[in-house]
Amino acid sequence: MGKTILIADDHANVRALVQDYLSEHGYRIVTARDGAEALAVAQQEMPDLILLDIMMPNLNGFEFMRAYRKQHNVPIILLTARMAETDKVVGLELGADDYVTKPFGMAELLARIRAVLRRTESGGLGPGDKVHRIGDLVLNRNTFSVTVEGRPVSLTPSEFELLATLMEFPKRVFTRDTLLERLQGNDYEGAERTIDVHIRNLRRKIEPDAAAPRYIKTVFGIGYRCGADEED
């Protein structure tokens, strides 16, 4: 049985079209017609990934994520007809791993799904050692875990992969384009703002003071690098 994907969208034609296509590619599909039903289905079916429409009745996509992210880090891809950049940023800040804008092609959607699911698999995308340490920050790819000063930190798959990339190569400066390619693959054209939002989320979770980051440093005009203060 393939991985389970929950499609939460209030348009029956969208649910049917996406369900038929993904089923043909080996995925098990469950569906929901609104945000409230999506919460119930997600709790019962424990999907491996959620395709989530933003504009839904009985809890919209943003409200769903606020409730669902309190307990689960299952990857979420937003399906949105909204074009405003602020809506996409809000979705990423709430814990979405990626987004596609309607209307979208099925091949593009499948590529996004595969890219996100790869990040959830043991070992992730990175080569070499599976345990990385910088100061009191420890990341273990084998157990998909992160701790700061011994305290466990809950990350989404995209946040985990981004942090792992930075920690694998301490002090190396990554451009936003390079980090975006690392997350999404060579064929993906996304917005650099996506990386900035993920970095902001990471800092909020791992930094003692997100306003004065210790582990993830901004290299102005270029991108980001990882390194504890005492190593600078």
Q: Which domains does the chain have, with CATH numbers?
A: 4-120 (3.40.50.2300), 131-231 (1.10.10.10)
pLDDT tens-digit profile of 100-141? 888 889 999 999 899 888 877 644 444 445 888 898 999 998
* Burial of 128 per CB tally in 10 Å (0-12, 13-18, 19+): exposed
pTM flag (> 0.85): no
The dihedral of CA 173, 176, 180, 183: what is its sign? positive
The chain-wide mean pLDDT, for the chain, equals: 86
Most confident option among 27-41, 86-100, 162-176: 27-41
pLDDT tens-digit profile of 210-230? 889 999 999 998 999 997 654
pLDDT tens-digit profile of 7-50? 999 999 999 999 999 999 999 999 999 999 999 999 999 999 99
Residue 126 pLDDT: 46
